[in-house]
Structure 1
């Protein structure tokens, strides 16, 4: 009995340490009491968005990478215009690059004229400099400060497909509960980044009560914070049975690739589902250069057979899941504003597992030619029965814990070292990259302006931006001096004349 109590105490300590590591890495606490509904593709997400906006009575806050000037974009814009005219607080923050066509066509002017507010994130400017490289890639809608939508879908008809093209495959969720508070804070932070801050009264959720049983954390990534990257690395290290990933633009770092390979070598069922044909073609080509080392380590890679799979999801051990806007690449991890929901719930994770298996039925597995690979069994039951004597069970758990500790150590060690050894299997990838660089060098050597003009433009914008910032600092310094000079006489006037009682 004492041994069982000791085992339970050890498991509890491990859970506490894991929770602490996840919270610190994500920069977000785990908040229980949320009601979460998973939404798939435009068929689920778009009608839910429309209904929520149409029924809004208080406010609508939207932070969206693409707000397209197309049929679905018109529908949502017209709903927002109707709500703004009735006095509903409407705040729309769209990314300039993602929505540049709509921006240049003055697509949002009718909304502003109706009383709504619309701001563009990082439009081109002389003072922008290199900050223009960072985009707002979030996809978030908050209605009446009580209903939150987070997904990989944008406000665009592209997700609906067409007569001869199936809809894009994507995943989102609808949430009610305590997580609305950090969601409102995340929107307010982005909103203040582009102009006057949001009034404080809009930062309080309309309902503080628990609405469900799901525990979740909201990871609002801003440039250079790398919160989601740290969390993804930890989850890859903590996974013991399964780690199933769906990603639209997979260009992982060497550190994350190492984490996936170590997990697969340790017996974790690691699977990766990516597009075969992407809306950004060159990204799909780069992704394929990373297949071989993953496959040789035992990771199973699948390509979606449809026109596009745009989901960014992960599910581990039938317990932990992630849904949001972050792709497994440096741009999402380090440069953009992203937003994801990490769920710790058996039911929701199990539903995502079943959806992943359903997606694999419309995907083709990539295998190594003329190579024997260890097949990974179908997903195990969530609660596997331990067999054998208590001593054998203890030894098995100890070996498993040691292997997992080694994987976590490798991941943390790679963070410190900042690199890994190059494997021979990566020769084709390096050859393709080397040939591409040689071709670019030849073109630049023959046509110097190909490199000179873009470089000059980038450096010029960066220089002008830094110079303008310095002038702003000088101006602020001069204003402070003027204010101090103006304040000095008033103090002297208030002072009593010499010789008179105070």
Structure 2
């Protein structure tokens, strides 16, 4: 555990550590539990969370939970009834019925993973409430991170979540309290209004200021031109730049992102793929002092469309612990990306590579032109006669 100003921080790795601490925190709640998650599945993890929330509500704690309508598309009537009967309010952000069995409205999702207990303790990270974050799920269990923080910033997260609950669920109209630029802890958001690039800017400012090392671990790495340019410039001025990415791409976009390998490597960036199991983390450490843990990938969806949240920490102890864990992954479970594993160079890349970078650079502007709809958050209610 790290102590930063008047805060206590605990780095949580994978579901085993995260779910245990979440359960203890909810069991100790006295006044309020506020939760947001992209995914809540009705598996053993989701059912355990349901029981924890029900128990809290029955002892008089206000319990508010919000999940994304795309990430969490279905709950059984009994699951909803058990929560509702106990007084838990479960909301779905931007719900839409499947069309011909396919989930629609992929863009502009609630991708945040937040939990606040009594305004004193907060959890921020990338871990969803699903069994695939546990090792016993098998080879497809995910490697991921979250941070537990106790202290004044938890009240800031609580105020933001209250604003999201009282509005359309986005929290875009919330105005954070002023904080010094060199604050040890910062709660950073990405939305589609006034904070559309705040998380990206936090990363890029740290990379541009780096003097020794940038260690970046991200499941979906496909940033824009400016971001990749900052990484390449850092490597060229002598900063050690290390990227840890997933070695088992599970989306077409993640596979296309491998086209970035060669120009990054040519600039001196070290590339590694995590091959033990799916990598789902969204973390970074710069100069062994600056660190971030959160929900934001470094791809067009997270940087340009989704609602995201990260915690930025300036502390050598916390950054050192995260760095040590990432270095352990690099040494034990990663493979370096050499020339033989990069997509082969072809003559037409002279044209396609600039086009790729142009698309990456302009994607945020283009994304704003996509047909937008006003998101809404719906309170789920049990069907009459449903027995929990």
Q: Structure 2 length as normaliser, TM-score?
A: 0.79
> Quick one: which of 15, 33, 44 aligns to 2:6?
33
Q: Report matched runs for 1:205-216 at 5 Å.
A: 215-216=184-185
CA 1:426–1:94 in 2, change beyond 3 Å: closer, same or farther?
farther
Residue in 2 aligned with 1:70? Answer: 43
> Quick one: which of 330, 343, 351 aligns to 1:360?
330
Q: For 1:164 and 1:70, how far apart are their aligned partners in 2?
A: 15
> Quick one: which of 252, 261, 286 aligns to 1:291?
261
Higher helix share: 1
Residue in 2 aligned with 1:226? Answer: 197
Give 1:107 deviation, angstroms. 3.5
Give 1:241 deviation, angstroms. 0.6
Q: Report matched runs for 1:148-159 at 5 Å.
A: 148-159=122-133
CA 1:267–1:105 in 2, change beyond 3 Å: closer, same or farther?
farther
Q: For 1:299 and 1:343, how far apart are their aligned partners in 2?
A: 24
Give 1:429 deviation, angstroms. 9.6
Q: Report matched runs for 1:389-428 at 5 Å.
A: 427=349
Q: For 1:111 and 1:428, how far apart are their aligned partners in 2?
A: 57
CA 1:291–1:105 in 2, change beyond 3 Å: closer, same or farther?
farther
Q: State the Cα deviation string for residues 224-278 of structure 1 (Å, max 9, x = none).
A: 4211111111111111110000001111111111111111111110011011114
Q: For 2:335 and 2:232, how far apart are their aligned partners in 1?
A: 21
Q: State the Cα deviation string for residues 296-355 of structure 1 (Å, max 9, x = none).
A: 110011000122111100100011000010111122122111111000001111111111
Q: For 1:40 and 1:259, how far apart are their aligned partners in 2?
A: 28
Residue in 1 aligned with 2:52? Answer: 79
> Quick one: which of 73, 79, 82 aligns to 1:110?
82
Cα pair 2:219 2:279 within 8 Å, conserved: yes
Q: For 2:204 and 2:22, how far apart are their aligned partners in 1?
A: 32
Consecutive aligned runs of 4 or more in structure 1 exceeding 4 Å deviation: 423-426
Q: For 2:267 and 2:337, how far apart are their aligned partners in 1?
A: 13
**Is 2:226 aligned against 1:255?**
yes
CA 1:117–1:260 in 2, change beyond 3 Å: closer, same or farther?
same
> Quick one: which of 210, 215, 219 aligns to 1:239?
210
**Is 2:279 aligned against 1:305?**
no
Query: What is the SS of the residue equivalent to 1:84?
Result: helix
Q: For 1:65 and 1:342, how far apart are their aligned partners in 2?
A: 20
Query: What is the SS of the residue equivalent to 1:39?
Result: strand
Structure 2: give runs of 5+ residues left out of the alignment. 98-103, 172-182, 357-368, 375-388
> Quick one: which of 173, 187, 202 aligns to 2:161?
187
**Is 2:239 aligned against 1:268?**
yes
Give 1:131 deviation, angstroms. 8.1
Q: Report matched runs for 1:333-344 at 5 Å.
A: 333-344=303-314
Q: For 2:137 and 2:65, how far apart are their aligned partners in 1?
A: 31
Cα pair 1:289 1:429 within 8 Å, conserved: no
Residue in 1 aligned with 2:16? Answer: 43
Give 1:171 deviation, angstroms. 1.1
Query: What is the SS of the residue equivalent to 1:358?
Result: helix
Query: What is the SS of the residue equivalent to 1:189?
Result: helix
CA 1:370–1:143 in 2, change beyond 3 Å: closer, same or farther?
closer
Query: What is the SS of the residue equivalent to 2:136?
Result: coil
Q: For 1:308 and 1:131, how far apart are their aligned partners in 2?
A: 25
- Structure index of larger Rg: 1
**Is 2:137 aligned against 1:137?**
no
Give 1:147 deviation, angstroms. 1.0
CA 1:105–1:269 in 2, change beyond 3 Å: closer, same or farther?
farther
Q: For 2:52 and 2:252, how far apart are their aligned partners in 1?
A: 36
Q: Report matched runs for 1:322-337 at 5 Å.
A: 322-337=292-307
CA 1:287–1:106 in 2, change beyond 3 Å: closer, same or farther?
farther
Q: Structure 1 length as normaliser, TM-score?
A: 0.62
CA 1:254–1:345 in 2, change beyond 3 Å: closer, same or farther?
same
CA 1:226–1:105 in 2, change beyond 3 Å: closer, same or farther?
farther
Cα pair 2:96 2:105 within 8 Å, conserved: no
Q: State the Cα deviation string for residues 132-165 of structure 1 (Å, max 9, x = none).
A: 7201101111112211111110000011143642
Query: What is the SS of the residue equivalent to 1:175?
Result: strand
**Is 2:31 aligned against 1:58?**
yes
Q: For 2:293 and 2:251, how far apart are their aligned partners in 1?
A: 24
Query: What is the SS of the residue equivalent to 2:6?
Result: strand
Q: Which moved more, 1:224-233 or 1:349-358?
A: 224-233
**Is 2:140 aligned against 1:169?**
no
Q: For 1:294 and 1:426, how far apart are their aligned partners in 2?
A: 19
Cα pair 2:70 2:105 within 8 Å, conserved: no
> Quick one: which of 96, 107, 130 aligns to 2:69?
96
